[in-house]
Structure 1
């Protein structure tokens, strides 16, 4: 009897352990998975309004976009009304020739349709040390910028279009803007569409963009980084051959402590905290990395700049972050600013992740433009 109970307990413990490991693997896979295809749905356009499916995203206040299946972009504004499972929003800008009636579109936080909407644009290719090139947009006038460049780095499962939201402020401040793509984002060739390495591989492509800017005459560079782009920017500042040219940082909802990010995701899924620890262990192991399709293992626990072991750079830094960000905890930005006297935190109350520019556009714009104007000439 005692022996059978012991065997049963052992089997139960083994089952629990296997389930725990499976959950950890699932969380790790979700964390680094490539971006899912855009979800296109029927929308109804009528005059200066559009009816879209009611979702958590489409119910958010602010200014957003609809990407039609032909690639064109519709800028949408405030909610006019909610009709059951549909949300009717105002149309702020619509492409020429778009008629009233039914269409198919994907909802997006990218409320700027094209880089040309920001300023004079050149479509360029940044040479990469790993071979090939990465597409980028160069916005502004080099002569008037006089060697001052901003490099905009989007976050995980995003694209250059999302990072466009910071470009109007940098353009108005008189700086050049380089909006970049990098390994693993949606613009890569299929062979490169690998899981994210949380910045540990991607930073090299952004460093190549820094080298490109320097070759084009950039003497003073500010990295403008969104979400996981914050991790990429930190790694670039630490390791770039051109780090002396980087004179400042602008972060939007930055991932500066991946332990907090993973623990927040696990808590949001109502899973034990131990699953977060185990999922980071999976990412950091060679076996786990191989199972996830990663090029190399990722030590997520080391990707932190808020503790004692890895200090951030002594650079003027502006952080824009919502107190209620559901993805990247606001506490990480608070902790970073507490340790870095050169850092300033501008707190927002925007709902959703990286929606500061969508919901409080004037504050967002003025904070970035003011920060850039305040930087002394080298």
Structure 2
């Protein structure tokens, strides 16, 4: 009896120890998963303070003016691009692919690099190409949009003589970038006889800062675009085309759904847009091998008011409001939507679903290998052709050739 009682006690103690260990492990997993989810949620809404190096410079031939880069899905793309670098220069323009090897690609340098100009190996591949409006060699002026968060600097490219001064394009850049991203669009709209206003918005490093200093993923930034519409109207705009890249697409879509000036908006042009943030978050989580339960917690932390303080996002963000596929029937403005199926950052799935949901409004132009926000770079002629055809079909602009 005593011996049996001792065995039972030891068994019970062992069971309790196992349960305790399992509970501790589970608690550790929960705590670890929650901590990871908070870190991810904060990163989603926190503006970047420095560029992420995503490519290595392997060699520069200063005599031939070529540059050899580590091979990535971006660095092998045809077309012309930019490269943020460190050293004697901070930005290079690069041209066509000259040769490829198993782990590298050699491209033409379009920015001269002299014999004494040293550059660090770490660099950031970019679709911007143009950094400053002076590079476009077309007239512009620096203006300021008075937005709810304060002054938002903008570049205004007036319509050329004989153009349609009452039609404006308002260009909205994406997450982690600046209005320089939009400069590629100014020449095509000028050629169409249209005024372009390329704007900044809250927390992008140029415009005013919100109280939280965090992105709203489109849920708050649209108010600054509404202010830009108000500015355009004060300068004679009667018809407005909103154009957004990546998160700028989400902002443009929130603008048409929420603004008091919807009657002034003729249509929307989107490149590589965020149409549904859940799709983007899930895609990025899979790419980073984040477990689905953690991704689920991230969503809740972004959307529940009681967690918004911990995430430091300011107000909770409604992912339902930002899901334009589910809100497709609320749309009333025609949309030209251009997206590459190999985007690699913002998957094109939601763009296809939106086009299927509203074929009466959405004209979808699919690319197969242009990556994220690099459609102009990949095939400028095709990109221009689609935009000019859109404006012509909408009866916008004027022949200034």
User: Is this a same-fold pair by TM over 0.5?
Assistant: yes
Deviation of 1:111 (Å) = 1.0
Work out whether residues 81 and 88 of structure 1, in 8 Å CA contact, stay in contact via their aligned partners in 2.
yes
**Aligned 1:1-378 pairs, distance under 5 A:** 1=12, 2-38=15-51, 44=60, 46-47=62-63, 49-51=65-67, 53-54=69-70, 56=72, 57-67=74-84, 74-81=92-99, 87-92=105-110, 99-104=114-119, 107=124, 108-118=126-136, 119-130=138-149, 132-141=150-159, 144-188=163-207, 194-307=213-326, 309=327, 311-340=329-358, 341-376=360-395
CA distance in 1, matches of 2:165, 2:205: 32
Q: State the alpha-carbon separation in 2 of the partners of residues 262 and 146 from structure 1.
A: 40
**How far apart, in 1, do the equivalents of 2:294 and 2:80 lie?**
36
Q: Assess if the C-alpha contact under 8 Å between 2:171 and 2:196 holds in 1.
A: yes
Whole-Å Cα distance in 1 between the matches of residues 212 and 187 of structure 2?
A: 29
Contact 1:74 1:113 in 2 (8 A): no
- Pairwise CA distance, 1:161: 1.0
Deviation at 1:162, TM superposition (A): 0.9
Alpha-carbon distance change, 211 to 103 in structure 1, aligned in 2, over 3 angstroms: farther
Measured after TM superposition, the shift of residue 126 of structure 1 is: 0.9
C-alpha spacing 1:373/1:73, structure 2 compared with 1 (3 Å) = farther
Residues 182 and 198 of structure 2 are in contact (CA less than 8 Å); yes or no, is this contact kept in structure 1?
yes
TM-aligned CA distance change 1:285 to 1:137, over 3 Å: same
TM-score by length of 1: 0.88
CA distance in 1, matches of 2:211, 2:186: 27
Contact 1:184 1:193 in 2 (8 A): no
Task: Provide TM-score, normalisation by structure 2.
Answer: 0.84
Deviations 1:149-205 (A, max 9, x none): 000001110111111122222222211111111111132467879231111121111
Structure 2 residues not aligned, in runs of 5+? 1-11
Structural RMSD (CA): 2.8
What residue ranges of structure 1 are gaps of 5+ in the alignment? none
- Please report how far the alpha carbon of residue 137 of structure 1 lies from its aligned counterpart in structure 2 after TM superposition: 0.6
Q: Structure 1 pair 45/297, CA: closer, same or farther in 2 (3 Å)?
A: farther
Tell me, yes or no, if the aligned pair for 2:302 and 2:317 is still in contact at 8 Å.
Answer: yes
Measured in 2, the distance between the counterparts of 1:151 and 1:190 equals: 21
Size of the aligned set, in residue pairs, is 373
